[in-house]
Amino acid sequence: MEKRIGARTVRLEYPPAVLSFAAVGGHMEGQGPLRDEFDELSEDHFWGEKTWERGESAMQRHALSHALRKGGLREADIDFVFAGDLLNQCIGSSFSLRDTGIPFYGLYGACSTMGEALSLAAMLIDGGFARRAAALTSSHFCTAERQYRMPVPYGSQRTPTAQWTATAAGCCILADSGGGPYVTHLTAGRIVDKGIADANNMGAAMAPAAYDTLAALFRDTQTAPADYDLIVTGDLGRLGHDIVVDLFARDGVDMTKNYNDCGLLLFDVKGQDMHCGGSGCGCSASVLCGHLLRGMREKRWNRIVFAPTGALLSPTSSMQGESIPGICHAAVLSNDREG
C-alpha cells in the first residue's frame, strides 16, 4: 500500500489505536464548560511544588500517570514518549520524564506539539518500530506569562486580541491494537508566515498555517469539511477561527457547519473574560485528551480532524522585529479503522 497520498498526507496502513488518554487542568479550566471531562483539576497552581515551572512538570507527570492507570499500563510498557512544552529548552517535559526511563524524543512545535507528537507516535507504531507510544504536552499560565510577557504579579493589562494560556496537560497513548478511535491520516505542517508581527495576536499569525494544512488534507484525501463530524484547530481563538472560515470561504469551502477551535471550547470565552480564547500546548492537548476523545468513545463524533497550530516565535525574535511563523499539524481520528 502506498502510505503517502498527495503531496503532504500520510495514510496509515494499520491505523494505530488510542489506547488511553488523560487530561489535567487548573483553576480556570475547572471553571470552564469542559470541567467534567478532566481526569484531575487542581486549585493549587504550584501543583505541590515550589515553583510554577516545577508545577508544570508535575502536571505532565500527573497526565502521564492517569493515562497509564486508565490503560492498565506501566511506564515500561511505553516504547517511546514524544513530549514538549513552551518553556525555554522544554524543561517542562525533560524534568517531568526524568525519572521514568521511557525512551524520549523531545519536540518543539509550540501549541501544535500535541499534533506533532501524535503524528510521530502514530508513524513509529505503523512502521513497526513501537507497539505503544505516548504523546504528552503541557502549558501553564504563570510560566508562560513570566517567560513570554511579564511575571503575573506585575498585573499587566491584556490587549483585546490576547489569548489565555491554559494551565493544563494532556497525554494520549497510542498502540498497535485496541478499541480505538484510530489515527487514520496525518498531514504534516510546514511553516507559513504572512508577516503578522504582533505577539498579542497569535490567532491571526497562525490562521494561515491552519488553512494551509487543512486545505492540503482535504486535497490529498479528496475529502471536504462535510466528510467529518468535527474539525478542530488548536488555539486560534475567536479571531483566528474566523480568519480560517474566511480563507476557506474564498475557495468556496464552507467551514461554518462543523468547525471549532480548542481555544474556544476550553473556556467560556465571554463569561470567563478570556478575550480571544485559550492557548498554550496544554489547551489543545487537554481538549483532545478529555472532551474530544471521550466524545468519540461515546460516538458523539465518529470522524474528526484534530489540527493544533503553533506560533514559532520567541521574545527574542519579536524584539528583533521578526514576524511570527506559524505551523499546523493535522491528524484524522476515526472510530472506523478503515478511516
State the minimum distance, in angstroms, from the CB of residue 95 to a copy of itself.
Answer: 7
Comparison of 32 and 109: residue with beta carbon closer to a copy of itself: 109
Comparison of 31 and 317: residue with beta carbon closer to a copy of itself: 317
Count other Cβ atoms within 10 Å, centred on residue 315: 12
State the minimum distance, in angstroms, from the CB of residue 38 to a copy of itself.
Answer: 27
State the minimum distance, in angstroms, from the CB of residue 131 to a copy of itself.
Answer: 8
Write the CA distances from 31 to 34, 46, 152, 192, 264, integer angstroms: 8, 18, 20, 34, 14
Count other Cβ atoms within 10 Å, centred on residue 242: 16
Comparison of 230 and 324: residue with beta carbon closer to a copy of itself: 324
Q: Which amino acid appears at position 7 of this protein?
A: A
Going along 209-269, which residue ranges are E strands? Answer: 230-234, 259-261
Comparison of 79 and 235: residue with beta carbon closer to a copy of itself: 79
* CA 286/CA 283 separation, integer angstroms: 5
State the minimum distance, in angstroms, from the CB of residue 139 to a copy of itself.
Answer: 13
Comparison of 137 and 230: residue with beta carbon closer to a copy of itself: 137
Alpha carbon dihedral 207, 208, 209, 213, in 10-degree steps, equals 110
* CA 240/CA 201 separation, integer angstroms: 9
Q: Which three cell numbers stand for residue 31?
A: 471553571
Comparison of 98 and 300: residue with beta carbon closer to a copy of itself: 98
State the minimum distance, in angstroms, from the CB of residue 242 to a copy of itself.
Answer: 25
State the minimum distance, in angstroms, from the CB of residue 213 to a copy of itself.
Answer: 9
State the minimum distance, in angstroms, from the CB of residue 286 to a copy of itself.
Answer: 21
The backbone torsions φ and ψ at residue 32, rounded to the nearest 5 degrees and listed phi first, read: -90, 175
Q: Please spell the DSSP secondary structure of 137-206, one letter per residue.
A: EEE-HHHHHHHHS--GGG-PPPPTT--EE--EEEEEEEESSSS--EEEEEE----B------TT-HHHHH
H or E stretch at 296: helix 293-297
Q: Which residues bind a copy of itself (CB under 8 A)?
A: 3-4, 8, 10, 13, 50-51, 53-54, 79-80, 84, 86-91, 94-95, 97-98, 100-110, 116, 119-120, 123-124, 126-131, 147, 188-191, 193, 312-317, 320, 322, 325, 327
Comparison of 52 and 301: residue with beta carbon closer to a copy of itself: 52
* CA 60/CA 83 separation, integer angstroms: 9
Count other Cβ atoms within 10 Å, centred on residue 81: 25
Comparison of 209 and 265: residue with beta carbon closer to a copy of itself: 209
Q: Which three cell numbers stand for residue 174?
A: 497510542
Count other Cβ atoms within 10 Å, centred on residue 21: 27
State the minimum distance, in angstroms, from the CB of residue 121 to a copy of itself.
Answer: 11
Comparison of 295 and 339: residue with beta carbon closer to a copy of itself: 339
State the minimum distance, in angstroms, from the CB of residue 262 to a copy of itself.
Answer: 19
Count other Cβ atoms within 10 Å, centred on residue 337: 17
Q: Which three cell numbers stand for residue 257?
A: 457547519
The backbone torsions φ and ψ at residue 36, rounded to the nearest 5 degrees and listed phi first, read: -80, -5
